[in-house]
Amino acid sequence: MDRAQKEKVVDELGQIFESSGVVVVAHYTGLTVADMQSLRAKAREAGGSVRVAKNRLAKIALEGKPCASMADLLTGMTVLTYSEDPVAAAKVAEDFAKENKKFEILGGAMGETALDRAGVEAVSKMPSREELIAQIVSCIGAPASNIAGAIGAPASNIASILSTIEEKFEDKAA
């Protein structure tokens, strides 16, 4: 790799570190090409990406970035799993680590917050952006359905009272 290519890689990694909601660092020693393709496909489905980069270039790209604290994790054969959604990459990495014992999560960063192994696991258990939006929408929609139910309830109560009166009237007439 010549100097221009290295500078391009450092710039790309810098963009990843700045724009990602979460970056997970893991060792991938012993994984097959098929395993890595599977990881990449799962990350893509969740809205994330996977990147293998030289640790030295990644450390240069981390300088001055909010997640610079994770530079200590970049040793050995490391792979970066990242996403704009602060939860997606952590979920993908955790799920993949459960399936493949050779994929060892070291930690990562969520903005300025450095994450250890337990931190990545905790982030992976949080609801994703889509799940949070669905919960908020259901909370907003619930009062409206309650109001509709309250408005409709007196009418149904009146109808049941009228039918009871009508039944009593018919019994007396018969």
Strand partners, 109: 23, 114
3-state class (DSSP) for residue 17: helix
Cite the DSSP H helix spans in 20-128.
33-45, 55-62, 88-99, 117-124
Residue 157 has a pLDDT of 62
* Dist CA 30 CA 13 (whole Å): 24
pLDDT for residue 150: 56
pLDDT truncated to tens, each residue of the chain (174 aa)?
788 888 999 899 888 888 888 899 999 989 999 999 999 999 999 889 999 989 999 999 988 888 888 888 999 899 999 988 888 899 999 999 999 999 999 999 888 888 889 888 988 888 777 777 777 777 776 666 655 565 666 656 666 666 777 777 777 766
Closest CA to 49 of 76, 74, 71, 20: 20
- CA–CA distance, 62 with 87 (Å, rounded to integer): 21
- Asked whether the whole model's pTM tops 0.75, one would answer no
Residue 82's pLDDT is 92
Phi, psi torsion values for 107, nearest 5 degrees: 155, -150
Dist. CA 114–CA 123, nearest whole Å: 12
- Decide: helix, strand or coil at residue 25: strand
pLDDT of residue 153: 60
Region label for 32, one of left (φ > 0), alpha (ψ between -120 and 50) or beta (otherwise) = beta
